[in-house]
Structure 1
Amino acid sequence: MRKGTSWDVELCICRPDALRRAIAGRRLVAALQPQQRLVDGSVLGLKALARWKHDGKWVPPAEFVSIAQDVGLAQP
């Protein structure tokens, strides 16, 4: 487990095998965040953000993205 992780070891949320199962089970979702121009509020585009709900709780991206990078499931 990474230093400074907010998850309890007993929950096993931060383990790479839990993340692999979530990816295989298509349990990660994309949330779209609009990118707006400050001058007039017009939408310039969208940013896709990965989200993962595990056992009814949202796992912070800072937790699962770094694990995905560590085990080769995502590129930095």
Structure 2
Amino acid sequence: MALAETLGGARAVFLVNHGIVAVGPDLQSATVAAILLERAAEQQLVTLGYGGVPAWSAPEESIAKRERIYNETAISNVWDYLVRQLK
């Protein structure tokens, strides 16, 4: 299956034995998507390690969250934060 088909409308995907692939209209958006996905996966693993049970948002809620999280201002703010961490 082609990567574009696997991604569908998503911003990022895990490839077995390879890691994360993230896309976006620019480098900032793709980088932020990759980092947020990696952090979410790490949090999920920690939760599972402590015996927690994953909980998923309803599809409508997920779409609303995505629109709130991935707006230009939010992406720019996260990008600026990440750049500051490199200095």
TM superposition score normalised by structure 1: 0.25
Rg larger in 1 or in 2?
1
| Structure that is richer in strand per residue | 1
Higher relative helix content: 2
